[in-house]
Amino acid sequence: MRRPTIKDVAERAQVSLKTVSRVINDEPAVLARTRERVQQAIAELGYRPDPSARSLRSAQSYAIGLIYDNPNPYYVIAVQNGVLSVCRDTGYGLQIHPCDSSSPDLAADLVNLVRHSRLAGLVLAPPMSERKELVAELVAHDIHLVRIVSASADPQDGSACVYVDDRDAAYEITEYLIQLGHGRIGFLWGGKSHGSSWERYKGYVDALRDYGIPLDEELVVEGDYSFDDGFRGARRLLALGDRPTAIFGSNDEIAAGVLAAAKSSGMNVPYDLSIAGFEDSPFSKQSWPALTTAKQATEEIAQHAARRLLEEIQGRVGTAQNEGFSPQLVVRGSTAPPRPKG
């Protein structure tokens, strides 16, 4: 069967091609009953606008870009799915662009990407979203963008963003471990170029301080958001003379690496070692035991970022607001009170 066209929609709804175009573009100059008839015809025919064709027919672009640099495939897939779902609902195309966030030419590369691909705007995922000089350069070139950032509150710096309160969630995880009776809690960093790593570390430190537990730098290990770094970091912590009774990994991949290291050492999780992660990725559910973690609605966060970007593109900034999310503690079988000594 051939793909339905805008002409088919116009004939089904008994309106002009221009009226169908106005409905698709969400222009206000259409009567409510006419708009409803056109939308019904679109639904019955299964019509989807071709973003590239729409862009070529007008000065307006109907495609956006998603820019990311993250070693965690589960995070990347969730962000892609979230942005793509909004694009499908609104008739926009999506160009997915992985990049090297440390590249000195990144700003110029992204400006060229927007110009050559005729993108209407960009969704910036961490860590690009947290590079102030990069954001400033893109804004200077009149590029619409929305950032996904790790922050305990709306940054209120005039930029459009969706912010995630990683610090509060990390505090809750650490507090939970302390309340179970753990006094020596290891912390494994994610990549330090990510604001989320710093925010999760701050949440860990704040909880220790509030419960009167001194920060032991020996229990803090740097690394990246990866299984391998979780495994290596855990082996280092478990080799200590006074090893931790619990380890908090900055994401679930790290925590899964900790679990593998503990099992390879013959330890019983959670009774010899409690383990917690962050994000509630498939790693957390597929591990055995399943991982205690903080549930981060990554796909929903990405959907909100895409909608926020479209508000910017369509000039509806007067009603647009930055939105915040706070990951929620999920308790599973990888955590328990420590074994009594002796």
| Domain regions of the chain by residue span | 6-47, 63-165+297-327, 166-296
Contact 305, 146 (CB under 8 A): yes
Q: Does 179 or 26 have the greater pLDDT score?
A: 179
pLDDT of residue 341: 74
Confidence of residue 323 (pLDDT cuts 50, 70, 90): confident
**Nearest by Cα to 97 from 81, 115, 82, 109:** 109
Please say if the pLDDT value at position 218 is more than 60: yes
pLDDT at residue 187 tops 90: yes
The answer for residues whose C-beta is within 8 angstroms of residue 277's C-beta and 6 or more apart is 248, 249, 251, 252, 253, 254, 255, 256, 283, 284, 291, 292, 293, 294
What percent of the chain has a predicted confidence (pLDDT) above 90? 50
**SS3 category, 309:** helix
Sign of the CA dihedral 114, 118, 123, 125? Answer: negative
Would you place residue 49 in the very low, low, confident or very high pLDDT band (cuts 50, 70, 90)?
low
Residue type, 45: L
Please report the sign of the dihedral spanned by the C-alpha atoms of residue 206, residue 207, residue 212, residue 215: negative
Confidence of residue 88 (pLDDT cuts 50, 70, 90): confident
CATH architecture of the domain formed by 63-165+297-327: 3-Layer(aba) Sandwich (3.40)
Lowest mean pLDDT among 58-72, 195-209, 271-285, 311-325: 311-325
Name the pLDDT band for 56 (thresholds 50, 70, 90): very low
Distance CA 57, CA 328 (A): 46
Determine phi and psi for 265, rounding to 5 degrees.
-95, 5
Cβ pair 320, 160 in contact under 8 A: yes
Average pLDDT, the chain: 88
Question: Of 111, 116, 112, 117, which Cα lies nearest the Cα of 145?
Answer: 111
166-296 shares the fold of 6-47: no
Please tell me the pTM assigned to this model. 0.76
Q: Whose structure tokens read 């820019």?
A: 67
User: So what CATH class is 6-47?
Assistant: mainly alpha
**How many Cα atoms are found within 13 Å in the side-chain-facing hemisphere of 14?**
2
**Does pLDDT of 80 surpass 90?**
yes
Lowest mean pLDDT among 26-40, 163-177, 187-201: 26-40
Is residue 277 within 8 A of residue 293, CB to CB? The reply is yes
User: Has residue 205 got a pLDDT over 70?
Assistant: yes
Q: Using 50, 70 and 90 to split pLDDT, how confident is the model at 157?
A: confident
Lowest mean pLDDT among 24-28, 176-180, 214-218: 24-28
Q: Which of 96-100, 247-251, 264-268, 328-332 has the lowest mean pLDDT?
A: 96-100
Q: Which residues contact 338 (CB under 8 A, 6 or more apart)?
A: 180, 181, 182, 245, 246, 274
Q: Has residue 202 got a pLDDT over 70?
A: yes
CATH, domain 166-296, list 3.40.50.2300, 2.30.42.10, 3.30.70.990, 3.20.20.140: 3.40.50.2300
Give 249's strand partners: 188
Evaluate if residue 250 carries a pLDDT over 70: yes
CB atoms under 10 Å from CB of 243, counted, come to 18
